[in-house]
Amino acid sequence: MKNRLLAAITTVVLLLAILSPPLARAQNANQQLAASGVVETIKKRGSIRVGMSTFVPWAMRDKNGELIGYEIDVAKQLAEDMKVKVEFMPTAWDGIIPALLAGKFDVVIGGMTITPERNLTVNFTLPYANSGTHLVAHKELAAGFKSLEDFNKPDVVLAVRRGATPATAAKRLMPKATLRQFDEDALALQEVLNGKAHAFVTSTPTPAFEALKHPDKLFLPIPEPFVQGAEGFALRKGDPDALNFFNNWILLRQQDGWLKERHDYWFKTRAWAGQVVE
């Protein structure tokens, strides 16, 4: 009996001796991964670098040139909760993912819609906002238009922002139309106001806001958004700790109502309009 017990103990000791080095190496690897991750980098630096681009009402310049908007509020609150400063890194939209991958900033908080194509390149958090794709049209050029099929014609010109999700939706749903692409929303909208494009395809709530601002020139031929979207933070792949932290931050700020309150302010009211140049 004693011999059997001794043999069992010896076997356990041998197994522990064999398994301990790999377990220790795995633990060390996990610790090294966490230490080099985005969250630890932000804490050591004392600031979070946020990649973004200007989209109304996500991010805009006020009359003093300061950034305001929904995602600006989100990034500032995130930084406050992390007890660090926030550094905004304005970036051209069609180059924002390459800039993230190159390490120019820690995270994209820029109203980026989650898509399978983008998700192959970056990781996305849980959605922190939900929007849709809609269009606002020129009253004379699009007179009588009531459906997407009315816009799906070779002689119809659609203004879109280059590289943005609405541009992809417009190309997919209205392939016969001519797509005219611009680097900024303001330029795409101006093309319609100037009577050089039939409609501006963009994210909600911009079409409704612009129709209210320019009732003599613009209207909403289709009452509701024709594509629904969900927006998340974009992160470089291979950083589970950062993904876990940002996901839980979004979850908690959804549960306490803060995200909804800020979203409703920027997307369902125009109380902020006096802060920007119309």
Please tell me whether residues 253 and 206 are part of one structural domain: no
C-alpha distances (whole Å) from 233 to each of 11, 66, 92, 107 are 50, 22, 17, 7
Please tell me whether residues 190 and 257 are part of one structural domain: no
Please give the Cα distance from 52 to 34 (Å, whole number): 25
Question: Residue 172: inside a domain, yes or no?
Answer: yes
Burial 202-213 (b: 16+ CB within 10 A, else e): bbbbbbebbbee
Please tell me whether residues 111 and 248 are part of one structural domain: yes
Q: Which residue range is the domain that position 137 belongs to?
A: 133-228
Question: Residue 121: inside a domain, yes or no?
Answer: yes
Give the predicted TM-score (pTM) of the model: 0.77
Pairing of strands 129-138, 199-203: antiparallel
- DSSP letter assigned to residue 249: H
- State whether residue 180 is helix, strand or coil: strand
pLDDT at 170: 97
pLDDT at 131: 87
Evaluate if residue 257 carries a pLDDT over 70: yes
Please tell me whether residues 105 and 165 are part of one structural domain: no
Please tell me whether residues 47 and 175 are part of one structural domain: no
Q: What is the pLDDT of residues 158-216, one digit of tens each?
A: 999 998 899 999 999 999 999 999 999 999 999 999 999 999 999 999 999 999 999 99
pLDDT at 32: 47
Question: Residue 34: inside a domain, yes or no?
Answer: no
203 forms beta bridges with 133
Give me the number of domains the chain comprises: 2
Question: Residue 12: inside a domain, yes or no?
Answer: no
Contact 93, 163 (CB under 8 A): yes
Q: What is the pLDDT of residues 214-246, one digit of tens each?
A: 999 999 999 999 999 899 999 999 999 999 999
pLDDT at 21: 61
Q: Which of 174, 160, 38 is nearest to 108 (CA)?
A: 38
Please tell me whether residues 51 and 118 are part of one structural domain: yes
152 φ, ψ to 5°?
-90, 65
227 φ, ψ to 5°?
-140, 135
Q: If pLDDT is split at 50, 70 and 90, which confidence band does 6 have?
A: low
What's the CATH code of the domain at 213? 3.40.190.10
Q: What is the pLDDT of residues 72-115, one digit of tens each?
A: 999 999 999 999 999 999 999 999 999 999 999 999 999 999 99
pLDDT at 30: 46
